[in-house]
Amino acid sequence: MPNPSLHSVPGDQAPMHLLLEADPSAEAIAGYLHDCHCVVARLGRTTVGVYLLKALTADTWELMNIAVASEHQGQGIGRLLLDHAITQSRLLGARRLELGTGSFGHQLTFYQRAGFRVVAVEPDYFLTHYPEPLFEHGLQHRDRLRLALTL
Ligand SMILES: CC(C)(COP(=O)(O)OP(=O)(O)OC[C@H]1O[C@@H](n2cnc3c(N)ncnc32)[C@H](O)[C@@H]1OP(=O)(O)O)[C@@H](O)C(=O)NCCC(=O)NCCS
């Protein structure tokens, strides 16, 4: 497994091309990026991953975005970032970490393996919050799952 280094960076240095892999709306990203704690994973000088954490309340934070460059996926970098996000949110005072996803595929397994539980479904979320239809493996994203981890 590669051994990336993790760094906190200001939001304006966040790798937009990676954030767009997890959230295809640049407009949505612009709406939350400035409020987020941003961490990137680097291999040498190359940024290969990113996550964004945002405070919802004093003790509840949200993982707003997490992505690994496609050519580096499946090598454990995502798990490293997710574990770091969990530790970091605890250090920032969170008692609960939440996230939303439209994926019922490997991303859902990825979160559940780290202990996240499905706590709600928001029907039609992606139909009403995104101007363009979103597809993954030919399947349209419609409903958003809310997941949460008690810290
Ligand atoms: C989700 C994501 C961040 C995971 O990062 P990663 O570096 O590939 O994750 P890891 O290598 O740590 O793998 C975690 C698990 O997911 C599985 N996985 C990763 N990519 C996969 C893929 N394309 N297809 C199937 N399984 C995959 C791995 O096999 C691993 O499972 P294991 O624990 O049984 O070995 C990455 O796939 C990604 O950036 N996807 C695009 C953006 C995205 O969907 N973000 C989340 C939005 S909800």
What is the CATH classification number for the domain harbouring 10?
3.40.630.30
Q: Measured from the CA of 99, which atom of ligand 1 is nearest?
A: 48
Q: Is residue 131 helix, strand or coil? A: coil
Query: What's residue 135's pLDDT?
Result: 87
Query: What's residue 56's pLDDT?
Result: 97
Residues of the chain with pLDDT under 50: none
Cβ contact 44:68 at 8 Å: no
Structural domain that includes position 114: 5-150
Spatial separation of the C-alpha atoms in residues 150 and 15, rounded to whole Å:
29
Query: What's residue 104's pLDDT?
Result: 81
Q: What are 104-118's pLDDT values in tens digits? A: 888 999 999 999 999
Spatial separation of the C-alpha atoms in residues 124 and 29, rounded to whole Å:
20
Task: Give yes or no for residue 41 CB within 6 A of ligand 1.
Answer: no
The whole-angstrom distance between residue 64's C-alpha and the CA centroid of its chain comes to 5
The owner of tokens 């809310």 is 146
The owner of tokens 């091309």 is 17
Query: What's residue 117's pLDDT?
Result: 97
Query: What's residue 52's pLDDT?
Result: 98
Query: Looking at the 3D structure of the chain, how many domains does it have?
Result: 1
Q: What are 55-77's pLDDT values in tens digits? A: 999 999 999 999 999 999 999 99
Q: How many angstroms does the Cα of residue 57 sit away from the middle of ligand 1?
A: 28
